[in-house]
Amino acid sequence: MPELPEAETIAKGLARVLPGRRVARVRVLKHDVVEGPAARFARGLSDQEIAAVERRGKNVVVRLAGGDRIVVNLGMTGRLLPAPTPSPPPGAHHAAVHWTFQDDSSLTFDDVRRFGRVQLLGPDAWRSWSRRLGPEPLSSAFTGARLRRILDGSRSPIRSLLLDQRKVAGVGNIYAVEALWGARVHPARPANGLTDPECRALHRTLRRVLRRAIAARGTTLRDYRTAEGEAGGFAPALHAYGREGQRCRRCRASIERMRLSGRSAFFCPRCQPAPEAAAS
């Protein structure tokens, strides 16, 4: 499931091929994937040139020379597939949006489960959209003190807070779980109950795991692929996520799984003591 490192890897890959291309035609094949009327979306992109490909949180942002932006939320299974040909690549079995460019190349947004969303935003709409997201965890603005203030505002389980894009942008279940394992903090701990040392540790481990995952080009569990169609390399480096019943790599205890707000959370019961034990 694409989170910040996966979106970053895809954006970097697309940034090598898309800038300079000019839109020839847009086909919306799955209307529920595009925000607003498909006709307006297609019209707004007509003859537009791509200036850059960037990232905000988990979103891939295609910036156009005219100042508008295509914001792509990949959801669970969304993939952006560039091709040197006008037709979608062979692997695109669930094409939702298809762009062809004036040089006869193309880009396909393919999404099996259709949790993904694509929208076209003008400069003002972009600013207000972006403002709704929390800070970028790898930016210099995201300090330990900033995280402390975010945690202090919530009694929610720390894992739930880390998934809230309004609080911190780009963190999903995999990296939230990994950062908490690194910081030795149980996923169900109330956010505002973390001690200052725990908060500092979480700040450090969150940034570290995101940076390392970017260096490995993301985590492929099943669907995620880079813009070049390759699997990410971070899966073998996971310490807790998906490792229920396996040994903790730090203390050899058996990794456990719990459900928290309907989502799986993985943790080491020895390294990450449960809230009751930690509170005493």
Q: Which of 76, 258, 274, 278 binds DNA (CB under 7 A)?
A: 76
Distance between CA 260 and CA 111 in Å, rounded?
A: 26
Q: Which residue, 112 or 235, has its beta carbon nearer to DNA? A: 112
> Closest separation between CB of residue 87 and DNA, Å?
20
Residue 220 in the binding site for DNA (CB under 7 A): no
> Closest separation between CB of residue 111 and DNA, Å?
9
Q: How far is CA 162 from the centre of its chain?
A: 12
Alpha carbon of 232 to those of 112, 136, 220: distances in Å? Answer: 19, 21, 5
Residue 1 in the binding site for DNA (CB under 7 A): yes
SS3 label, residue 122? coil
Q: Which residue, 23 or 170, has its beta carbon nearer to DNA? A: 170
Alpha carbon of 242 to those of 38, 151, 153, 256: distances in Å? Answer: 38, 26, 30, 10
Q: How far is CA 75 from the centre of its chain?
A: 8
Query: CB within 8 A of 108, min separation 6: which ones?
Result: 80, 81, 83, 88, 89, 92, 95, 97, 98, 99
Q: Which two tokens stand for residue 13?
A: 């890959």
> Closest separation between CB of residue 238 and DNA, Å?
11
Pick out residues in 8-67 that bind DNA (CB under 7 A).
Answer: 32, 57-59
CA-based nearest residue to 237, from 258, 257, 255, 220: 220
Q: Which of 51, 220, 264, 269 binds DNA (CB under 7 A)?
A: 264
- Based on its alpha-carbon atoms, the radius of gyration of the chain, rounded to whole angstroms, reads 20
| 2 given a catalytic annotation | yes
| 3 given a catalytic annotation | yes
- Which residue among 190, 263, 269, 275 is the active-site one? 263
- Which residue among 21, 56, 58, 117 is the active-site one? 58
Pick out residues in 103-162 that bind DNA (CB under 7 A).
Answer: 112-115, 117, 153-157, 160
| Backbone torsions φ then ψ of 213, nearest 5 degrees | -70, -35
Q: Taking a C-beta distance cutoff of 8 angstroms, is the pair 105, 142 a contact?
A: no
Number of chain residues interacting with DNA (CB under 7 A): 31
The β-bridge partners of 56 are 59
- Which residue among 3, 6, 178, 256 is the active-site one? 3
Residue 173 in the binding site for DNA (CB under 7 A): yes
Q: Which residue, 101 or 241, has its beta carbon nearer to DNA? A: 241
| 263 given a catalytic annotation | yes
> Closest separation between CB of residue 105 and DNA, Å?
27
| 135 given a catalytic annotation | no
Q: List the Cα angle 153/158/159 in 5-degree steps.
A: 135
Which residue numbers are catalytic?
A: 2-3, 58, 263
Applying CB under 7 A, the residues found at the interface with DNA are 1, 3, 32, 57-59, 73, 75-76, 94, 112-115, 117, 153-157, 160, 163, 165, 172-174, 222, 261-264
